[in-house]
């Protein structure tokens, strides 16, 4: 019996998505709940599982197509013999009369010794660009699939004299351009990237953005981490990072300056007696902002576990719409990429975002003497329509003082 696989309900107010990847080919055998299609919505990538066990006989969509909730994605013949590999799979593809087999072949993995390995368009481009053999790379994505970061890391290892195998198969797929020839590539923006672009530009168009800066002596936090990191990891099974300190410091600031934790809705200001912190996380398809809910009530261990879980699931592409819903304040850490200073853009409808940057030793004056301290620039971008300069500076100063004297976070000062 043939079963249709349809686009599932994607979340509140989300009615359509784009086809990001076809995770299987026509003729592949699939098990119940095995992902076959990856959808890209405005915020997350969603994998659509097979509702039955059988063999894929047809795909109704192609990569890049826009589909609505309820649209048919594929057709699966239930109870078929496992024909994902070997001659039976080949015959299944050859029997298609509508040209789907050509598309299936085109989407097959490039330069891989494992026929079941499926490369996303982004990964395939990275393979060809860096000239590595994907069959020699261990994937860190969901179900062991390769990510773009895996390919880049492998290429770097190869360049540095690592043990990556000969990449001739991947290089052969794209002939080298003649010396001096200039090339360009046009790639359609993903739905997520389009949404990011619209939201950030909308923030600049609709809000009166202003940024205030300060610098923070990280000595106390670094000393606390050094002293307690082993005990913390042993007790809580999670690494003690910097984000937990800044999240708790932000909670102190937002409690004392509630406007920074509020937003404008029409002609009203919406205040919150809770702190839901959106944490900017880099994912293969773009920046996502999952939310640490009720951060004001959570300890360091719970916050660090939430952040680690978000980072892992962002890399795997398994964050959900619910993970991104809401948020009253955002923290973005550009320091992990080496940023010295930036003016972050708020995440609408929020009214403020805290930007963290890299830590570096700098000369500062302490008690009349020049000393070397590990310093970090921090930035607070805010909507000046709601937040006055005094409030923004005060909030950032509270964060600075809490980081420089972490005891304040323990006694709520």
Residues catalogued as catalytic: 384, 388
Q: Residues 279, 246: contact at Cβ < 8 Å?
A: no
Under a CB-based contact definition with an 8 Å cutoff, are residues 362 and 340 in contact? no
Residue carrying structure tokens 């009203």? 268
Q: What phi, psi does 5 have (nearest 5°)?
A: -100, 120
Structure tokens at 310: 């978000």
For residue 161, the tally of other CB atoms under 10 A from its CB is 7
Residue 261 carries which DSSP code? G
Is residue 241 within 8 A of residue 333, CB to CB? The reply is no
Return d(Cα 34, Cα 23) in angstroms, integer: 10
Q: In 3-state terms, what secondary structure has residue 358?
A: strand
CA nearest 61: which of 111, 4, 14, 146?
4
> Given CA atoms 81, 84, 85, 88 in this order, what sign does their dihedral have?
positive
Element (H, E) at 88: helix 87-94
Residue 58 backbone phi and psi in degrees, to 5: -165, 140
Q: Which two tokens stand for residue 328?
A: 């009253």
**Which strands sit side by side in the sheet containing 66-68, from one edge to the other?**
45-49, 35-40, 16-22, 66-68
d(CA 141, CA 135): 15
Q: ω before 346 within 30° of 0 (cis)?
A: no
């Amino acid at each position: 019996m043939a079963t249709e696989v349809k686009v599932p309900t994607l979340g509140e107010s989300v009615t359509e998505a784009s086809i990001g990847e076809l995770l299987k080919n026509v003729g592949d055998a699939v098990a119940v709940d095995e992902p076959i299609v990856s959808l890209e919505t405005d915020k997350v990538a969603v994998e659509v599982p097979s509702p039955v066990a059988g063999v894929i006989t047809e795909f109704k969509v192609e990569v890049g197509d826009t589909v609505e909730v309820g649209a048919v994605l594929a057709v699966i013949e239930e109870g078929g013999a496992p024909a994902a590999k070997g001659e039976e799979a080949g015959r299944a593809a050859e029997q298609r009369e509508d040209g789907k087999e050509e598309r299936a072949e085109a989407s097959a993995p490039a330069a891989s010794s494992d026929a079941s390995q499926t490369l996303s368009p982004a990964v395939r481009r990275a393979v060809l660009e860096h000239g590595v053999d994907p069959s020699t790379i261990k994937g860190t994505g969901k179900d062991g699939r390769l990510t773009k970061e895996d390919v880049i890391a492998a290429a770097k290892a190869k360049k540095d004299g690592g043990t990556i195998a000969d990449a001739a198969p991947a290089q052969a797929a794209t002939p080298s351009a003649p010396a001096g020839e200039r090339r360009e590539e046009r790639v359609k923006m993903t739905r997520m990237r389009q949404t990011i672009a619209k939201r950030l530009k909308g923030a600049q168009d609709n809000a009166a953005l202003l940024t205030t800066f300060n610098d923070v002596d990280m000595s106390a936090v670094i000393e606390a981490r050094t002293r307690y990191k082993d005990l913390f990891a042993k007790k809580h099974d999670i690494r003690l990072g910097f984000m937990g300190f800044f999240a708790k410091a932000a909670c102190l600031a937002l409690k004392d300056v509630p406007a920074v934790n509020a937003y404008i809705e029409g002609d009203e200001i919406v205040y919150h007696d809770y702190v839901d912190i959106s944490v900017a996380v880099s994912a293969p398809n773009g920046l996502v902002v999952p939310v640490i809910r009720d951060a004001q009530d959570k300890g360091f261990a719970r916050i660090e576990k939430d952040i680690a879980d978000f980072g892992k699931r962002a890399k795997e592409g398994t964050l959900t719409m619910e993970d991104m819903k809401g948020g009253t304040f955002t923290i973005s850490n550009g320091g992990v990429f080496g940023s010295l200073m930036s003016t972050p853009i708020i995440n609408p409808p929020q009214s403020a975002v805290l930007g963290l940057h890299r830590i570096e030793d700098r000369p500062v004056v302490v008690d009349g003497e020049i000393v070397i301290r590990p310093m970090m620039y921090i930035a607070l971008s805010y909507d000046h329509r709601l937040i006055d300069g005094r409030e923004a500076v005060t909030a950032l100063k509270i964060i600075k003082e809490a980081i420089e004297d972490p005891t304040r976070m323990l006694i709520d000062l």
